[in-house]
Amino acid sequence: MKPSDLRVQPPSFRWLAERVWSVEHAFERIKAQGRAEEDTRVRIFFVLAAFSFAFAILAFGAARAALFNGDGRAYGGAAAVASRADIVDRNGRLMAANLVHYALYIDPEEVWEPAATQRALLQALPGLSAERLRRAIEGERRTFVMGGLTPQDRARVHALALPGLSFEEEDRRVYPLGRTAAHLVGFTDSGGRGLAGVERALDEQIRDGGKAGKPVALSVDLRVQGALEDELRRAALNLNADAAVGIVTNVRTGEILALSSFPDFDPNAPGDSPAGGRLNRAASSVYEMGSTFKVFTIAAGLDSGTATVNSTFDATAPMKLGGRTVHDFHGANRVLTIEDIFIHSSNIGTSRLALAMGQQGMVRYFQQLGLLQAAEVELLESARPLVPRRWDENTLASASFGHAISVSPLALTAAMGAVLNGGEYVPLTLRKLDPNERPTGRRVLSEATSRAMLDLMRLNVVRGTGSKANAAGLRVGGKTGSAEKVIGGRYDRSRLVSSFAAVFPTDGPIDGDRYFVLILLDEPKGSPESMGQRTGGWTAAPAAGRVIDRIAPFLGVRRAADPYQTATGDKPPVVEEIIPGDETVAAEGGQ
């Protein structure tokens, strides 16, 4: 008896139930009845069902793929992703970019007239190697002939309408500014790997930026860079200097606003420049800086309490130290206060101050000012200093006025920043910082010492060796340096490294924006403009003054009067007693 007989069901369900049960019992029936053909039909039914199921899945998949395949990118010519990001200055102006160039290929089998093709190509592409072209045309298969072609080059070749020539796209790094900021930006190899400058220092960030399509912004201001380069080049050529370095930084943030090294090179063809041109002297050369180091010695002396601005030191006669004698260049031959020592750039006075501080004290300050290690900056070229193996009285006295220790201009710049920004050593950076960001540095000097040094540097420009840097109304302070070069183990008096370390504005809040300018000339020869002189006060200081005069508007520093000068550069109308450090008369500060 069948189970369906047990209950009363509507006709349609009965029909369906019967079919289901008949399938259920098919095998039993077949077995019972011994009917082979029934077995076959059931098998066919199962195979059919399996196939139907598979086709249903396929149909579903096909319909889904046809109707909901939304990703059309596979068809589109989407924008090519550059392998390296653009490099821009702090105002977004382009300094380096990857542009599509073209590589020319020749398939000799398709070339009809080899001689005419050679002639026409050489005329259209003057940089093409005739030998290479000949080999390609006479070869047997498609060959690369020339890369780095611009769209204009390609258009010229297309216009020849010659068969057998084809192009392939290639991504190439381009520096549209040419020699401007070349040392700072650096360059890459043909594979797009950074080899020098920012390209090498920020290689990873530039690659990531390229993937994300975001430019990498540097701390550099191209307007400041342009003015610095112009004045540096002018000074170097005018004074026939072997080399020159110029740096502009914001001492509050440590941002490098401009950096220039002369001679320079074109990063679009770095191989074409002599090696001397590619050398970034601001980072990778070390110099005995001379008297600019007195800034550090005097700051250390004031900060440690060894001396005050009014302390006196005997400079009546040259100082004998072991087998050598320390002389003064501008010999005052009298007892000098710290202020006098600074303004007259007295080697004797500075040596006596350093000796009074003692070896440990001085070396600790040099250490904290970062002068005994490579400058903290992203550039991998940053060179380690040459420091004395042993600090004795002799080397201590020498180092106090910038001999016996060679540092890179960037290391000097970073240390000067600490002296001039309120006393914190802030590492230099080439990355643009947020305007409200105040990088944390390590405290090296007290704010009072920093203020005293700003006043001393201002006085040195008003009354001392730095007077030629006194840009009207910009409250410039500074210190000259003229170091004899060591040639064959001896100081050569005829070869100087002349420099000027300037800061402006010297007034205003101690933690405000303040700018440091370094001009360094390697072996200036003297010119009619410098009255034949080669020292820092006659060569680097005027250049620094001109740079400051030009860049102040870009940096938002307005001309204003201070106790020593009116805003237009004249002497103050009423001569008052001038007290260094008295800010009541000082006009508005920097911004």
Which positions touch another protein (CB under 8 A)?
11-12, 15, 63, 66-67, 72, 75-80, 93-95, 97, 99-100, 151, 174, 176-180, 222-223, 225-227, 229-230, 471-473, 549-550, 558-559, 567-569
Minimum Å distance from CB 268 to another protein? Answer: 10
| Closer residue to another protein, CB minimum distance, 99 or 386 | 99
| Closer residue to another protein, CB minimum distance, 103 or 356 | 103
What's the rounded Cα separation, in Å, for the pair 257 and 555?
10
Minimum Å distance from CB 568 to another protein? Answer: 5
Minimum Å distance from CB 177 to another protein? Answer: 5
DSSP string, 487-516: ETTEEEEEEEEEEEEEEE--SS-TTS--EE
Residues paired with 334 in a beta bridge: 315
Dihedral in degrees, nearest 10, Cα atoms 194, 199, 200, 205 = -100
- Residue carrying the six token digits 């009619």: 528
**Geometric angle at alpha carbon 445, from 443 and 450, rounded to 5°:** 120
CB within 8 A of 43, min separation 6: which ones? none
Minimum Å distance from CB 124 to another protein? Answer: 20
Minimum Å distance from CB 446 to another protein? Answer: 34
| Closer residue to another protein, CB minimum distance, 264 or 340 | 264
| Of residues 18, 23, 22, the one with CA closest to residue 4 | 18
| Closer residue to another protein, CB minimum distance, 532 or 569 | 569
What's the rounded Cα separation, in Å, for the pair 26 and 38?
8
Minimum Å distance from CB 234 to another protein? Answer: 11
CB within 8 A of 391, min separation 6: which ones? 359, 362, 363, 399
Residues paired with 336 in a beta bridge: 313
Selecting among 260, 261, 284, 291, the annotated active-site residue is 291
| Dihedrals phi, psi of 520, to nearest 5 degrees | -130, 130
| Closer residue to another protein, CB minimum distance, 394 or 566 | 566
Known catalytic membership, residue 166: no
Residue 365 to residues 99, 380, 419, Cα–Cα distance (Å): 48, 25, 11
Residue 480 in contact with residue 465, Cβ under 8 Å?
yes
Count Cβ atoms below 10 Å from residue 124 Cβ, excluding itself.
Answer: 18
Minimum Å distance from CB 498 to another protein? Answer: 24
Minimum Å distance from CB 61 to another protein? Answer: 14
Cis-peptide, bond into residue 263, ω within 30° of zero: yes
In whole angstroms, how large is the CA radius of gyration of the chain? 38
| Closer residue to another protein, CB minimum distance, 150 or 304 | 150
Count Cβ atoms below 10 Å from residue 441 Cβ, excluding itself.
Answer: 20
Minimum Å distance from CB 463 to another protein? Answer: 20
With the C-alpha atoms ordered 581, 582, 583, 585, is the resulting torsion angle positive or negative? negative
Single-letter amino acid, residue 249:
T
Q: What is the DSSP letter of 109?
A: G
Minimum Å distance from CB 223 to another protein? Answer: 6
| Closer residue to another protein, CB minimum distance, 199 or 549 | 549
Q: Where are the alpha helices (DSSP H) in 243-390?
A: 275-278, 281-284, 294-304, 338-343, 347-357, 359-368
What's the rounded Cα separation, in Å, for the pair 220 and 259?
8
Residue 293 in contact with residue 351, Cβ under 8 Å?
no
Residue 332 to residues 15, 145, 397, 406, 478, Cα–Cα distance (Å): 128, 71, 19, 27, 20
| Closer residue to another protein, CB minimum distance, 77 or 274 | 77
| Closer residue to another protein, CB minimum distance, 19 or 193 | 19
| Closer residue to another protein, CB minimum distance, 419 or 476 | 476
| Of residues 265, 244, 276, the one with CA closest to residue 543 | 244
List, by residue number, the catalytic residues: 291
